[in-house]
A and B are shown apart, each in its own frame.
Chain A
Amino acid sequence: MILRSKDVLGLEDLAAEEILGVIDIASRFRAVFDRPVRSVPIMRGRTVVNFFHEPSTRTRISFELAEKRLSADIVNFSTATSSLSKGETLRDTAENLAAMKIDMLVIRHSSSGAARYLANVLACSVINAGDGAHEHPTQGLLDIMTMRQRLGDLRGRKVTIIGDISHSRVARSNIWGLTKLGAEVTVCGPPTMVPTGLDRLGVKVEYDLLRAVKDADALNVLRIQLERHASRSFPSNREYHRMYGISAEVVQKLKPEAFIMHPGPMNRDVEIASEVADGPRQVILDQVANGVAVRMALIYLLSGGDPGALAPAAA
Chain B
Amino acid sequence: MEWSWERIPAEFVVMNARLCREGAIGRRRGFVHVRKGRVEAIGVGSSSPEGIPALDADGLVCAPGLVDLAVHFREPGFEEKETVVTGSRAAAAGGFTAVVTMPDTDPAIDNSGMVRYLIDRGRDAGLCRLFPTGAVSPGRRGEAMTEFGDMVAAGAVGFTDGSEPVANGNLMGNALKYAAMLGVPIITYPEDRTISGRGVMHGGYWATRLGLAGIPRAAEDAALFRDLELARAAKGHLHVAHVSTKGAVALIRRAKSEGIRVTAAATPHHFSLDHARCRDYSPLTKTNPPLREADDLNAIAEGLADGTIDAIATHHEPHTATEKEYQFDQAPFGVIGLETALAVGITYLVNPGLLDLGQLIACLSERPARALNLPVGRLEEGAEADFVLIDPERRWTVQAGAFASRSANSPWLGETLTGQVAATFLRGRLTWRGAAAPGGN
For the complex, is B322 an interface residue (Cβ under 8 Å from A)?
A: yes
- Contact assessment for B325 and A89 in the assembled complex, using a CB-CB cutoff below 8 Å: yes
Flag A63-96 by CB within 8 Å of B: 1 or 0 each: 0000000000000000000010010011100000
For the complex, is A116 an interface residue (Cβ under 8 Å from B)?
A: yes
Question: Which of the residues A117, A132, A169, A196 comes within 8 Å of B203, measured between beta carbons?
Answer: A196
Nearest CB in chain B: distance from A126 CB, A: 14
Question: Which of the residues A109, A133, A196, A201 comes within 8 Å of B327, measured between beta carbons?
Answer: A109
Nearest CB in chain B: distance from A249 CB, A: 32
Interface-side segment among B208-216, B308-316, B354-362:
B208-216
For the complex, is B207 an interface residue (Cβ under 8 Å from A)?
A: yes
- Contact assessment for A196 and B205 in the assembled complex, using a CB-CB cutoff below 8 Å: yes
- Contact assessment for B211 and A169 in the assembled complex, using a CB-CB cutoff below 8 Å: yes
- Contact assessment for B214 and A195 in the assembled complex, using a CB-CB cutoff below 8 Å: yes
- Contact assessment for A117 and B330 in the assembled complex, using a CB-CB cutoff below 8 Å: no
Residue of A whose beta carbon sits closest to that of B216: A196
Known A83-B330, A197-B204, A197-B205; judge A112-B322 contact (CB<8 A).
no
Residue of B whose beta carbon sits closest to that of A165: B208
B207 contact set on A, CB distance < 8 A = 195, 197
User: How far is A91 from B329 in the complex, measured between Cα atoms in Å?
Assistant: 15
- Contact assessment for B212 and A132 in the assembled complex, using a CB-CB cutoff below 8 Å: yes
B117 contact set on A, CB distance < 8 A = none
B280 contact set on A, CB distance < 8 A = 116
B326 contact set on A, CB distance < 8 A = 86, 89-90
User: How far is A99 from B214 in the complex, measured between Cα atoms in Å?
Assistant: 36
A110 contact set on B, CB distance < 8 A = 329
For the complex, is B328 an interface residue (Cβ under 8 Å from A)?
A: yes
- Contact assessment for B325 and A201 in the assembled complex, using a CB-CB cutoff below 8 Å: no
Nearest CB in chain B: distance from A166 CB, A: 8
B203 contact set on A, CB distance < 8 A = 196
Known A117-B281, A197-B204; judge A112-B212 contact (CB<8 A).
yes
For the complex, is A114 an interface residue (Cβ under 8 Å from B)?
A: yes
Residue of B whose beta carbon sits closest to that of A136: B211
Question: Which of the residues A111, A116, A198, A200 comes within 8 Å of B329, measured between beta carbons?
Answer: A111
- Contact assessment for A196 and B212 in the assembled complex, using a CB-CB cutoff below 8 Å: no
Flag A102-125 by CB within 8 Å of B: 1 or 0 each: 000000011111101100000000
Question: For A89, A110, A113, A133, which residue has the most chain B Cβ atoms within 10 angstroms?
Answer: A113
- Contact assessment for A196 and B214 in the assembled complex, using a CB-CB cutoff below 8 Å: yes
- Contact assessment for B204 and A196 in the assembled complex, using a CB-CB cutoff below 8 Å: yes
- Contact assessment for B327 and A90 in the assembled complex, using a CB-CB cutoff below 8 Å: yes
- Contact assessment for A132 and B214 in the assembled complex, using a CB-CB cutoff below 8 Å: no
A-B contact count (CB 8 A): 66
For the complex, is A135 an interface residue (Cβ under 8 Å from B)?
A: yes
For the complex, is A131 an interface residue (Cβ under 8 Å from B)?
A: yes
A158 contact set on B, CB distance < 8 A = none
- Contact assessment for B327 and A111 in the assembled complex, using a CB-CB cutoff below 8 Å: yes
- Contact assessment for A113 and B328 in the assembled complex, using a CB-CB cutoff below 8 Å: yes
A86 contact set on B, CB distance < 8 A = 326, 330
Q: Which of B209-238 contact A (CB under 8 A)?
A: 209-214
User: How far is A113 from B208 in the complex, measured between Cα atoms in Å?
Assistant: 13
- Contact assessment for B204 and A113 in the assembled complex, using a CB-CB cutoff below 8 Å: no
For the complex, is A172 an interface residue (Cβ under 8 Å from B)?
A: yes
User: How far is A166 from B216 in the complex, measured between Cα atoms in Å?
Assistant: 14
Q: By DSSP majority rule, is chain B's interface helix, strand, loop, or mixed? A: loop
Flag B318-343 by CB within 8 Å of A: 1 or 0 each: 00001001111110000000000000
B330 contact set on A, CB distance < 8 A = 83, 86, 111
User: How far is A132 from B209 in the complex, measured between Cα atoms in Å?
Assistant: 12
Nearest CB in chain B: distance from A177 CB, A: 15
Known A89-B326, A132-B329, A196-B204; judge A113-B281 contact (CB<8 A).
yes
User: How far is A131 from B327 in the complex, measured between Cα atoms in Å?
Assistant: 11
- Contact assessment for B210 and A134 in the assembled complex, using a CB-CB cutoff below 8 Å: yes
Nearest CB in chain B: distance from A254 CB, A: 28
Residue of B whose beta carbon sits closest to that of A116: B281
- Contact assessment for A134 and B205 in the assembled complex, using a CB-CB cutoff below 8 Å: no
Known A90-B326, A112-B328, A117-B281; judge A133-B209 contact (CB<8 A).
no
User: How far is A116 from B328 in the complex, measured between Cα atoms in Å?
Assistant: 12
- Contact assessment for A133 and B211 in the assembled complex, using a CB-CB cutoff below 8 Å: yes
Question: Which of the residues A83, A134, A196, A200 comes within 8 Å of B211, measured between beta carbons?
Answer: A134
User: How far is A133 from B203 in the complex, measured between Cα atoms in Å?
Assistant: 14
Residue of B whose beta carbon sits closest to that of A201: B209
B211 contact set on A, CB distance < 8 A = 112, 131-135, 169, 172
User: How far is A166 from B211 in the complex, measured between Cα atoms in Å?
Assistant: 8
Known A90-B326, A91-B325, A112-B281; judge A197-B212 contact (CB<8 A).
no
Residue of A whose beta carbon sits closest to that of B213: A133
User: How far is A206 from B297 in the complex, measured between Cα atoms in Å?
Assistant: 32
Nearest CB in chain A: distance from B261 CB, A: 35
User: How far is A4 from B330 in the complex, measured between Cα atoms in Å?
Assistant: 31
Nearest CB in chain A: distance from B400 CB, A: 15
Flag A187-208 by CB within 8 Å of B: 1 or 0 each: 0000000011110110000000
Nearest CB in chain A: distance from B66 CB, A: 35
User: How far is A121 from B203 in the complex, measured between Cα atoms in Å?
Assistant: 29
Q: Which of B351-396 contact A (CB under 8 A)?
A: none
Nearest CB in chain A: distance from B39 CB, A: 50
Q: Which of A138-162 contact B (CB under 8 A)?
A: none
User: How far is A89 from B204 in the complex, measured between Cα atoms in Å?
Assistant: 28
Question: For A89, A114, A134, which residue has the most chain B Cβ atoms within 10 angstroms?
Answer: A89
User: How far is A198 from B328 in the complex, measured between Cα atoms in Å?
Assistant: 21
A133 contact set on B, CB distance < 8 A = 211-213
User: How far is A89 from B324 in the complex, measured between Cα atoms in Å?
Assistant: 10
B209 contact set on A, CB distance < 8 A = 172, 197, 201
Nearest CB in chain B: distance from A189 CB, A: 13
Nearest CB in chain B: distance from A263 CB, A: 15
Residue of B whose beta carbon sits closest to that of A194: B208
Flag B398-424 by CB within 8 Å of A: 1 or 0 each: 000000000000000000000000000
- Contact assessment for B327 and A200 in the assembled complex, using a CB-CB cutoff below 8 Å: no
User: How far is A132 from B208 in the complex, measured between Cα atoms in Å?
Assistant: 12
User: How far is A134 from B280 in the complex, measured between Cα atoms in Å?
Assistant: 12
A91 contact set on B, CB distance < 8 A = 325
5 cross-chain pairs, A with B, having the tightest CB-CB distances, nearest first: A113-B281, A197-B205, A134-B211, A111-B327, A133-B211
Q: List 10 A-B contacts (CB under 8 A).
A: A89-B326, A112-B329, A113-B212, A113-B281, A117-B281, A117-B327, A134-B211, A166-B208, A197-B206, A197-B209
> What is A's interface to B at a CB cutoff of 8 Å?
83, 86, 89-91, 109-114, 116-117, 131-135, 166, 169, 172, 195-198, 200-201
Known A83-B330, A113-B210, A117-B281; 5 more pairs at CB < 8 Å: A86-B330, A109-B327, A113-B328, A116-B281, A197-B206
